[in-house]
Chains A and B, each alone.
Chain A
Amino acid sequence: MTGSVGYSVGVDIGGTFTDIIVCPDDGGAATIAKVPTTPHDPGEGMIAGLAQSLAAAGAAPSDVTSIVHGTTVGTNALLQRDGARIGIITNTGFEDTLYIGRGKRRQMYDLFTGSDTPDFLCPRERVHGVGGRIAPDGTETAPLDEDAVARAADDLAVRHGVEAIAVSFLFSFVDARHEDRVREIVEARHPGLVVSLSSRIDPRFREFERLVVTAMDAYIRPTIGSYVTGLRTRLRELGVRVPLQVMESHGGIVASELIEERAVGTLLSGLAGGASGAASVGRATGRNDVLGFDMGGTSTDAALVVDGQPLTHDEGEIGGHPLRLPTVDVHTIGAGGGSVAYVDAAGSLRVGPRSAGSRPGPAAYGWGGTEPTVTDANLLLGFLSEDGLAGGSLRLSRELAAKAVRQVAEPLDMTDVRAAWGIHRIACAAMSAAVRVVSVARGRDPRNFALVACGGAGAMHACTVADDLGIAEILVPAHPGVLSAYGLLTADVKVPRQRTFQRDTRDLDAAELRAQLGEVAAAARAEIDRAGADPARVTVEAAVDARYVGQSHELTVPVRDDAADPVAAIVADFGDLHRTLYGQDDPDGRVEITGVRATAAAPGTEHTIGGHAGERHEGERRVYLPETGDFATVPVLSRAAVPETLDGPAIITQDDTTIVVRQGWRVRTDAAGTLVLTRTGG
């Protein structure tokens, strides 16, 4: 079957399912597969699924022109606290940095709250302090105690049997010589031990944050290393000839070899795939500014995409621990279809934060759940049908849902249906609040954005959320359930690098700025050459972190290549950005730079994964209309049966989601196969 057409492949391994998209490079229809994840060895399910999908697409493994993978292997190792046994080498006197953390507690009123620092990464007995000190200006004020380093390495390797050592010294981001020397000593004495240096992983100031990222790298690197090595072997055996690429937390992709040197970058790649997918969906319809709205059973992600790319920040978190890494700007709330509704002691209706989870799940599943959930409410309202979810493989019980919802309807003295609408409406308010966090609170007016509705439940709530936010357009991709895999397929190869460089802009001349930016840009470019990018297509964008003298939060300001006076341009652009985000600026204020950044990128390939080849059927059912407060008979169409334009109210069904088109919305299908909902009134 081998032909001249190449195929691009995206593979996203989630907790339950592995999603695979095989997309012909000539623009033909994509093949999509969802196969069960094999948690004991995720590569096994992936390879089997890949072989199967390639066969279904009529492609040979040798036809694969690119293969991009989103992995949660590191994420899971961290969340399940099942990473490598590591040790830490740091300055004498700073052995407790990991446990001291930053002192602030997340739960202010909970007298039983636990530690917020990721102290599980390494117990105190495997931390060694060694002599040696670098001053803030890079001078060595005490030489490295190399004998102590050797003793520490031996103790960690021999007595404690560690697999990896994290090394973090004060001011190593100014001068890394002590850290480099530690690596030499460890590698000479204990070859094969993984060594993570803070000066390589995150060369920026604030010793706790730098240590955490470095220790997390050491903690997951042995696991990730053997995983990608094994995967590459299996792919080769299957006959795939192109290098394996992997998505990082910032939404860019790199060659899998690079993450063996810096594994921590993959920790939030799951979120990144979704944000990248929302961006791709938007681009395919010609919308570069979109808000991703990915609502599932237990959680909802809201993502900000500007100019066709997911925005990133450095304030990610994992398992409740802050993670200072370039990460897509996604706000996650623990609410979804499984969120439980209740009446509080004051007689008010509340939804969440508790969830019925996947087991027992909503009452309507008949798996033993008795509490009313958002999904139960949606069934009573007619948004979902009893024929159920996942293409009819799971039937829903209206009787059980009604019984559950009655528990809140009775104390509120409401009908079941009225209570169900209340549950749905309040869930939408929580969703709208989440989308506000990544738009309004970032100085962006959501009315200028399109909402990309994904996940099993996103399109069921999207019209109400859009109405809340004044959004006039909703995009529902053909396959909202495989958004992350789609994001992998279309992401850019990208390498962001940054370093601390502190200077008042009044004491900074253009030549020095250019030299600093040049160094970090060269580092990013050297890295992207190894990341598998076509050198001809690489662009490098420079930026600085800036703030008013006296502030401690920085804003990232792009550096304009064409500016006659780049320093003056930075000051002006910083003021504009400050005003956009915080509603004010200080025209007389002194601006200082705290860091320089460069992002090398090579654009990915745009793929559209085509229209919807599902069954065509049309029918109708009784659906609750909040406008009248009553049920009406509403058309129900399969996605393939959607005519050129269709006005709400209507329900559109497909295997992996249900789209509720509310009154006042009109729907059409565009060339990319995306359903575009536009507000017509109301």
Chain B
Amino acid sequence: MDPVTQEVVRYRLATIADEMETALLRAAYSAIVKEGLDASAAVFDRLGNNIAQAAAIPIHLGCMIPSVHAILERWPADTMRPGDVFILNDPYAGGTHLPDIAVLRPLFHEDHMVGVAVTMSHHQEIGGMVPGSLPPNATDLYQEGLRLPPMKLYDAGEPVTPIFEMIRANVRTPDVVLGDVRAQLAACHLAQSRVAELATEVGRDTLDDVMAALLDQSEQLTRARVAEIPDGTYTFTDQMDDDGVEVGRKLEIRATVTVTGSDLHIDFTGTAAQAKGPYNCVPASSIAAIYYVLRAVTGNDIPNTSGCYRPVTYTLPPGSLVNPYEPAPVNSRTATVLRLCDALFGAFAQAIPERMPAAQSGQLLVMNFGGTDPATGKPYVTSELGMGGMAARPGLDGVDAVEASATNCMNVPAEAIEMESPVRVLEWRIWEDSGGAGRWRGGCGTEKVFELTAGSASANYRGERHTTHAWGAEGGHGAPFSRGDVRRADGTGESLPSKTMVHLDAGDRLRVRLSGGGGYGDPLTRPAEEVARDVRDHRVSAERARELYGVVVGGDGQVDAAATERTRSAHNEEKEQRA
């Protein structure tokens, strides 16, 4: 392959994927797509390899690969016709969870299939037992919504009308859902014209050769980076709070990474059996965690194709949380993906501790407030996307209040929530002392107080890290637990479990505190001036500064050097005695 042509065509393919993605996100209706950027677009070759992907959110990495395979198995390339379009969302036939609908279109140049355009969007609604189709108490897939096995949505350019009608009849907000499907179709259509133009310009055979060369390129670059990791087997275990159904029963995630030269094997043997509640990950979801961690470890300068994944093999034990049997419920799998990432990073940290952070906060609180506004008589559903903090890194504090793992959402402005619903945001701060203490401090999480001003409402509170910690590394401390509390209008109060449906009446307040990331290194070695700055910035309280960092900060926000020296030496002595 001529390297110049290869690179020139690579730019073109990447631009096409980006353009598809822009069309998907800009025209989106679902809050989770708009603010959560929960949609991806890609160009595949005709054999089902990902050649160029625009992902705004890492959790979609690789997750479209099984959907393309599902289609190509049933409709081999020689049976496809120009103008065919396929749809699916079945987690047990190439999908991830029901709200993620994949729309795929084989790409033709004249009469020859040259590739496949793939889009995947998280839809606001796909029917099932609760509005929004994310029931925290689902116990099987049938409760979660409408299941779309791989089907033709367009047959040689003609719409298969009954499928549209069936979707319309089975979801609560059909205009929104079909609007987002329309955006997916438009993105696929755009790919057809752009890729056909490209094939005409460079020649169909050249395009084919370039696609093969791009896969080889990504593979070789990935192998070169994997080879830099010391050979060995590294195991790490983390936990999830529970599955929302068997409340209080922790779920173990065990990741074993084996590095042999430029090959990687990931084994989740030892991970909890599949859950009764909706926290199961079908393989398409589990491999997204593997691929995200792989890219974070090997570097983003490697072009993102299926070639990146050739050096990786994996074991996903059947019947476990990472490969459940049909029809286990899966709607809340995002929380599990985040924990899979924590466990994988923990394993890699043993091989390359100087390059790996502590645990990220490991949670994203996606919560919907639903009710009817008494002022207008209209029903509303308002989404909240709550974030914790980033882990401390060797050499750097974690960033406060940010998405830091396989998800990459935007939060929802307080003004947006208040304009859409009778929910008022009374406070939205960085939660003091929520980052793990360390030589480098974990980023802090957030503290937010919502008040319902009128009527009554429900909220699907789906928390994590309420009973398990975001862990510290190399002597750094873990972050505190996340917490949810309700204070009723009558003055009574209650603490929320990790996952529950919350009922609110006018005047009730929900306070959500989301933990930060873990700390890195011994907090007693953090320079006192940095601790004092944290105290002045309300990231660390004066009490915790003294207790965890051994730094005494006066009322003026300055370090008391003498008192600090005494406190630190006392702490160090204590530590030695314990040792």
Contacts and interface: CB of A to CB of B under 8 A. Distances in A.
B136 interface: no
A425 B537 contact: no
Interface string B7-25: 1100110110011001101
A347 interface: yes
B437 interface: no
B446 interface: yes
A101 B402 contact: yes
Contacts of B29: 548, 550-551
B18 A441 contact: yes
Interface in A84-133: 92-97, 99-105, 107-116, 123-125
A349 B22 CA distance: 28
Interface in A484-514: 502
Given A99-B400, A103-B385, A441-B22, A348 B217 contact: yes
Contacts of A679: none
A436 interface: yes
A429 B7 contact: yes
B367 interface: no
B413 A206 contact: yes
Contacts of B399: 105, 113-115
A103 B179 contact: no
A345 interface: yes
Which size bracket describes the interface of B in this complex? 35 or more
B463 interface: no
Interface residues of A, number: 69
A583 B3 contact: no
A2 interface: no
A173 to B, nearest CB: 9
Contacts of A108: 55, 57-58, 300, 408
Interface string A412-447: 100000000110011001101100110011000000
Contacts of B295: 109
A589 B175 contact: yes
Contacts of A347: 3, 217, 220
Residue from B12, B35, B402, B411 whose CB has the most chain A CB atoms within 10 Å:
B402
B190 A583 contact: yes
Nearest to A578: B27
The list of the 9 closest CB pairs from A to B, nearest first, reads A93-B427, A583-B186, A346-B220, A124-B537, A345-B224, A584-B186, A552-B34, A422-B4, A550-B29
Interface in B538-562: 538-539, 557
A584 B27 CA distance: 9
B428 A93 contact: yes
Contact of B428 (A97, A426, A436): A97
B156 interface: no
B288 interface: no
Given A93-B449, A422-B3, A115 B402 contact: yes
A539 to B, nearest CB: 30
6 contacts: A96-B538, A109-B300, A111-B393, A114-B396, A205-B419, A429-B8
Nearest to A112: B393
Contact of B217 (A100, A346, A432): A346
Nearest to A586: B179
A248 to B, nearest CB: 26
Given A93-B428, A96-B428, A429-B11, A584 B419 contact: no
Nearest to B294: A109
Contact of A94 (B18, B219, B414): B414
Interface string B23-40: 101111101001101000
A588 B175 CA distance: 9
B8 A104 contact: no
B428 A350 contact: no
B15 A109 contact: no
Nearest to A418: B4
Contact of A207 (B12, B35, B414, B536): B414
B415 A207 contact: yes
Contact of B4 (A102, A113, A426): A426
B26 to A, nearest CB: 5
A40 interface: no
Contacts of B207: none
A421 B427 CA distance: 59
A125 B35 CA distance: 30
B563 interface: no
Nearest to B360: A111
B27 A582 contact: yes
B216 A109 contact: no
A537 interface: no
Contacts, number: 210
Contacts of A552: 28, 31, 34-35
A345 B221 contact: yes
A624 to B, nearest CB: 13
Contacts of B537: 123-125
A487 to B, nearest CB: 28
A344 interface: yes
B357 interface: yes
A124 B536 contact: yes
Contacts of B387: 103
A99 B183 CA distance: 34
B104 interface: no
A336 to B, nearest CB: 16
Contact of B403 (A103, A124, A345): A103
A104 B19 contact: no
Nearest to B22: A441
Given A205-B419, A582-B186, A425 B410 contact: no
Interface string A335-357: 00000000011111111000000
A139 to B, nearest CB: 11
Contacts of B427: 92-94
B415 A136 contact: yes
B120 interface: no
Contacts of A100: 400-401, 411, 428-430, 446
Contacts of B426: 93
Nearest to B536: A125
Nearest to A206: B413
B93 interface: no
A208 B300 contact: no
A299 B238 CA distance: 45
B175 to A, nearest CB: 7
A439 to B, nearest CB: 11
A219 interface: no
Contacts of B409: 103-104
B176 interface: yes
Given A93-B449, A586-B179, A589-B179, A102 B418 contact: no
Contact of B179 (A430, A433, A436, A548): A548
B287 interface: no
B518 to A, nearest CB: 13
Contacts of B385: 103
B6 A348 contact: yes
Interface in B374-410: 385, 387, 393, 395-396, 399-404, 408-410
B416 interface: yes
Nearest to A109: B300
Contacts of A92: 427
A364 interface: no
A581 interface: yes
A103 B27 contact: no
Contact of A105 (B14, B183, B403, B413): B403
A318 interface: no
B221 A551 contact: no
B414 A553 contact: no
B400 A584 contact: no
A324 B138 CA distance: 42
Nearest to B396: A112
A390 interface: no
Interface string B419-455: 1000011111110000000000000001001000000
A356 to B, nearest CB: 18
Given A208-B413, A553-B34, A107 B300 contact: yes
B414 A170 contact: yes
